[in-house]
Chains A and B, each alone.
Chain A
Amino acid sequence: EVQLVESGGGLMQPGGSLRLSCAASGFTVSDSYMTWVRQAPGQGLQWVSIIYPSGNTLYADSVRGRFTISRDSSKNTVFLQVNSLRVEDTAVYYCARISSGNYDWGQGTLVTVSS
């Protein structure tokens, strides 16, 4: 059974940094498309970043240069490093696995940026 468990969220100050983790089980992250999606309070879903099996990465224009996606095969975990936090980064951050015909979501972790 595929499982994704996000962690690392919390209350942060503007300008701060944090690293979100997505621990996977039931499959191998390095063989999969792994993506981060966020949802600000009362808003829709916003795609953030993706890492491919090749290691290539893509980012949304709004986060490029501040966010970094990575993975650790030994831990079967995907990370999202978030730097220079802004109030508008406040959101629930979801990780997901994309396969050729399926898409598995985690339960999300809340990041709140406030002074």
Chain B
Amino acid sequence: QLVPTQSPSASASLGASVKLTCTLSSGHSIYAIAWHQQRPEKGPRYLMKVNSDGSLNKGDGIPDRFSGSSSGAERHLIISSLQSEDEADYFCQTWGTWVFGGGTKLTVL
């Protein structure tokens, strides 16, 4: 089963921007993915779907400072104006095969 790849950790300063990456395996660059956020001790929360053409389907109530993009086999989650509440695990999931990446733990410094 197609397993997307994520870096285990990332960090950025309060108020700064960060780009998290989800990489699809070669030959699967047409797949869309979903991004989910999971704060400590909480359940997952859907952020957005990122299509291969870079178009987005954002979840209800997701702030504008959360955005996404696509480049080849990479799907990105961009968070601007980082806030302390953004410190969380971020998981990508392939759309259609439904497999999750290992997640990226984001630390806000």
A residues at B contact (CB < 8 Å): 35, 37, 44-47, 50, 58, 60-61, 94, 100-108
Contact B98 A45 (CB under 8 A): no
Contact B43 A100 (CB under 8 A): no
Q: Interface size class for chain B?
A: 20 to 34
B residues at A contact (CB < 8 Å): 1, 34, 36, 38, 43-46, 49, 57-60, 89, 91, 93, 98-103
Which residue of B is nearest A108, CB measured? B43
Contact A103 B46 (CB under 8 A): yes
A102 neighbours in B (Cβ, 8 Å): 46, 57, 59-60
Chain B binding site: helix, strand, loop or mixed by DSSP?
strand
B102 neighbours in A (Cβ, 8 Å): 44
A101 neighbours in B (Cβ, 8 Å): 49, 57-58
A44 neighbours in B (Cβ, 8 Å): 89, 91, 100-103
Taking the closest CB of chain B, its distance from the CB of A95, in whole angstroms, is 11
Contact A105 B44 (CB under 8 A): yes
B45 neighbours in A (Cβ, 8 Å): 105
Contact B34 A103 (CB under 8 A): yes
Contact B46 A45 (CB under 8 A): no
Which residue of A is nearest B48, CB measured? A101
Contact B36 A103 (CB under 8 A): yes
Partner of B44, one of A45, A50, A61, A100: A45
Contact A47 B99 (CB under 8 A): yes
16 A-B interface contacts by CB (under 8 A): A44-B91, A44-B100, A45-B38, A45-B91, A45-B100, A47-B93, A50-B98, A60-B1, A60-B99, A94-B44, A101-B57, A101-B58, A102-B60, A106-B43, A107-B43, A108-B43
